[in-house]
Amino acid sequence: MLEVQDVNLFYGAAQALRGVSLKAEPGKVTCVLGRNGVGKTSLMRAIVGQAPVAKGSIRFNGEDITTMAPSERARRGIAFVPQGREIFPLLTVAENLQTGFAPLKRADRFIPDDVFSLFPVLDSMMRRRGGDLSGGQQQQLAIGRALTMRPKVLVLDEPTEGIQPSIIKDIGNAIRYLRSKGDIAIVLVEQYFDFAKELADHFIVMERGAVVMSGDGAALEDPDVRNRIAV
Ligand SMILES: Nc1ncnc2c1ncn2[C@@H]1O[C@H](COP(=O)(O)OP(=O)(O)OP(=O)(O)O)[C@@H](O)[C@H]1O
């Protein structure tokens, strides 16, 4: 269980998060919704350790990880698929996947079969450079790299952004499959409402750095939610 409690985060004098709390449980998808610039990415960066928090706590399976380095969090199984994917364009697909080995013990340093069964295109492109892949293929590669880390928490920041519908479907199926395994807590940042609605077990809606609504997936039917995130 990942528990973010009452977190504040600043960039210089500008406050990006105001008392934000969120929980993510294994076998569930927690969606983070909200318009551009409300702090969704900042929250993800706080969870993975890329941005320090000024107040509040982040706990994982009871352990306080609030000030822990990103590499230590990765070792505990917190994996990040960042917005814009951030794959290595000059490395091959295989090498990009292998960067996920970093937090693993030597015996675990192989690419799990799930990566290729979920995204067969990666298997056929192992020797191609990451930069030669389409945007959708790069997104699959970024998720594959995170899965190579054997995550216990999978943090996905807008995985559907700029991606063609057939690959969005594959990504949705991959998330459903990973949830069904029951041992991964999934945190999904989304602006694509219908995608989020299909997947969310729990959700929060953010505005100006704060959580303004939260609930179970079924409550996403509330028209107020759609109004708050409509662009
Ligand atoms: N590195 C930074 N330095 C200064 N301000 C930042 C930085 N990153 C983000 N911000 C500001 O913090 C606020 C929250 O940004 P954040 O990227 O977390 O929002 P977001 O909801 O993820 O938006 P988007 O959907 O556009 O990615 C915005 O006002 C943004 O301009």
Residue with tokens 């216990």: 152
Bin 63: left if φ > 0, else alpha if -120 < ψ < 50, else beta: beta
- Give the residues across from 23 on adjacent strands: 3
**pLDDT tens figures, 9-51:** 999 999 999 999 999 999 999 999 999 999 999 999 999 999 9
Structural domain spans, the chain: 2-86+153-229
Which residues does 85 contact at the CB level (< 8 Å), separation at least 6? 135, 138, 139, 141, 142
Res 231: pLDDT: 64
Res 226: pLDDT: 83
For residue 221, name the pLDDT band (cuts at 50, 70, 90).
confident
**pLDDT tens figures, 130-183:** 999 999 999 999 999 999 999 999 999 999 999 999 999 999 999 999 999 999
Is residue 200 within 8 A of residue 220, CB to CB? The reply is yes
The CATH class of the 2-86+153-229 domain is: alpha beta
Q: How far apart are the first and last CA of the chain?
A: 32
Query: Residue with the nearest Cα to atom 7 of ligand 1?
Result: 11
Mean pLDDT of 104-126: 95
Res 227: pLDDT: 83
222 pLDDT higher than 70 = yes
Q: For residue 14, count CB atoms less than 10 angstroms from its CB and return exposed for 0-12, middle for 13-18, buried for 19 or more.
A: exposed
Q: Tell me the pTM.
A: 0.95
Q: Residue 57 belongs to what H/E stretch? A: strand 55-60
Is residue 137 within 8 A of residue 124, CB to CB? The reply is no
Query: Residue with the nearest Cα to atom 25 of ligand 1?
Result: 36
Q: Which atom of ligand 1 is nearest to the CA of 41?
A: 22
CA of 14 to the centre of ligand 1 (A): 10
What 170-178 contacts at long range (C-beta under 8 Å, 24+ apart), as own/partner pairs, is: 170/118, 170/119, 170/140, 171/139, 171/140, 171/143, 172/198, 172/199, 173/118, 174/118, 174/119, 174/143, 175/29, 175/199, 177/114, 177/118, 178/147, 178/154
**pLDDT tens figures, 94-105:** 999 999 999 999
**Residue 215 to residue 60: CA distance in whole angstroms:** 21
220 pLDDT higher than 90 = no
67 pLDDT higher than 70 = yes
Is residue 145 within 8 A of residue 154, CB to CB? The reply is no
**Residue 8 to residue 116: CA distance in whole angstroms:** 39
For residue 88, name the pLDDT band (cuts at 50, 70, 90).
very high
CA of 181 to the centre of ligand 1 (A): 33
As given in the structure block, the two tokens for residue 50 are 């890329």
**Residue 35 to residue 46: CA distance in whole angstroms:** 19
Q: Residue 227 belongs to what H/E stretch? A: helix 223-229
* Ligand 1 environment, Cβ below 6 A: 11, 14, 16, 34, 36-42, 83
